[in-house]
Amino acid sequence: MEKEKEKLLTGKKKRQKRSRSMHRNRKKLEKSLLAICKRFCKQNHEILFLLVAFRTTVAHELSSGAFNDVNKVQTKVTPLDPQWEIVSIGLNADETLLGVFANNQHGCFVHIYDVVTLSVDVSGEAVPLCSVRVGNTASKGIAFEWNPALSDMFAASDNERTLSVAKIDMQNPSKYSLLGEKKLEANINEISWSPKGKQLVAGDANGKIFQLKPEIELVRATNAPQNGLAVTSLSWLATTEWLIAYSNPERTSSGTFMLNIKKDKPPLWTPVDLAGQFSLGETRRLLVDWNIVIVVLPGTGQLLGVCKPTNANAWSTVPLASLPQPSPASFVIGIAVDLSRQTTVTLGDGSARRLPALVALNSDGSLRSFQLSPPSKEYPDCNVSLVPIDPSKIQRGLRPAVLATAQNVPSMTPASAATPQQSATPVAGLFAKIGEQKAPSTAFPSASPSGGLFAGAKATTQSPLSSGTTTTSIFSTQPSGTAS
């Protein structure tokens, strides 16, 4: 028997590619969501990390008052070798490559995959196009972030104070080069690129923010607003504005600030009212097109937007939705924005458009999806369209294998049979729930999370901006412990 444990959700759809000549044998591949699982095999006492891909349409459907059979959700499972432990995953700017940041006994590496090879509709085993080492010791990975504007560039850090920036050869992704690599003053906890991708900022365990060029050339360094704090979350919002969260080493005290640095002026710190620790969701297109960052508060289960309307002079927070109250056995471990939803939705002003979907992954294996409505019809449509792809044209990163055929994630118990509520349309608020499907309970014990982002969970009230109660689960076993 095997136990499965969900770890993180950070992937979504494939971005629309440049137009190309069409062939009759081409077929449309549905956009895919990606999740990471840990599987414990009692037979040889090994923990295996898996990449699990499934169609985003699972999370796009409005609730019909009945649950789908989660055991029939088609997935493609790509296992990593037993010695690998996944730190995080992420898609590059044009979403043609997936980076998997992982550790083994020799150090930490970023494995680069062709996204198409991970698709449910492509048979064969997906294998890395290349593996980029971070540092030169047997270190462990900490932070990993693709450049949001340049598809070939990413940055990563390890627990030996190393920060690396690498560049992939997009004509031959099996080749890469290091633009810069340097040991800094302390471990880099968080990395964020400028929206245009020209520079990056790195936040360290001493609370210091380094603004850098891709070659790791220092532009400026900014100390924390007070001593004894470490950077726990970081987002570069605009040219001179950053959203930063700090915490003391014990995670008993924290604070969130908006940092504004003008030329030849001292740093300006403005407190932001975000209770407890937070983590940022996928913001790439929404930040550029809508000036909004999605924030999740794992301790309370709240989803917030940090936004700056076109006629505003400052960033502000707005409540979006409330997830079920967190518990040691069930808490948010990842969120992602999916721009591949094709269905048009009627808004409050009578206009119809496609809306982005936000998917929240819970530690009990459930997915809750929401649709995000812009404040007005003047906001651009940032959704993408399905792209015809010919699997026979895949030249790299794929080999025939039985393990990689479309399959279901092994289940331990049948799905629970609860009746969800119907989501309301037209959409009245900024957020409206699309679908959810709860994972079944199991006999596996759950460890109570302590410290980290999940300490000090508080009760929260239901947000009036969310409607409906529907969930989608691709995993039918309840995980234990906390997410890293």
Name the 3-class secondary structure at 182.
strand
- What is the phi/psi pair of residue 325, to 5°? -55, 130
Distance CA 31, CA 6 (A): 21
CATH number at residue 406: 2.130.10.10
Distance CA 15, CA 92 (A): 10
Distance CA 413, CA 478 (A): 10
Q: Are strands 141-146 and 130-134 parallel, antiparallel or unpaired?
A: unpaired
* Residue 478 domain flag: no
What number of other Cβ atoms are within 10 A of residue 346's Cβ?
12
Of 408, 400, 321, give the one whose Cα is nearest residue 37: 408
User: 218 burial class (0-12, 13-18, 19+ CB within 10 angstroms)?
Assistant: exposed
Per residue in 331-388, pLDDT tens? 888 888 888 888 888 888 788 899 888 888 888 777 788 888 887 778 888 888 877 7
Distance CA 35, CA 12 (A): 9
Q: What pLDDT is recorded for position 260?
A: 95
Per residue in 167-208, pLDDT tens? 999 999 999 999 999 999 999 999 999 999 999 999 999 999
Which structural domain range is residue 277 located in? 2-19+27-473
* Residue 416 domain flag: yes
* Residue 390 domain flag: yes
Buried residues in 244-273 as b, exposed as e (16+ CB within 10 A): bbbbeeebeebbbbbbbbeeeeeeebeebe
* Residue 251 domain flag: yes
Residues pairing with 371 in the sheet:
357, 432
Number of domains observed in the structure of the chain: 1
Q: Dihedral of the CA atoms 81, 83, 87, 90 (nearest 10)?
A: -20
* Residue 484 domain flag: no
The DSSP result for 411-458, as a single string, is: -SSPPP---PBPPPSSB-SSEEEEEEEPPPP-S---PPP-SGGGSS--
Q: What pLDDT is recorded for position 192?
A: 95
* Residue 480 domain flag: no
Distance CA 98, CA 96 (A): 7
| Six token digits for residue 342 | 């094709």
Of 368, 197, 217, give the one whose Cα is nearest residue 288: 197
Of 167, 262, 236, 179, give the one whose Cα is nearest residue 213: 179
Name residue 101's amino acid. Answer: F
* Residue 481 domain flag: no
Q: Which residue has the higher pLDDT, 377 or 467?
A: 377
Distance CA 111, CA 117 (A): 14
Cα three-residue angle 59-100-284, rounded to 5 degrees: 55
Per residue in 131-177, pLDDT tens? 999 998 899 999 999 999 999 999 999 999 999 999 999 999 999 99
CA–centroid distance for 127 within its chain? 21
Q: What pLDDT is recorded for position 212?
A: 98
Average pLDDT along the chain = 73
* Residue 92 domain flag: yes
Q: Which residue has the higher pLDDT, 60 or 91?
A: 91
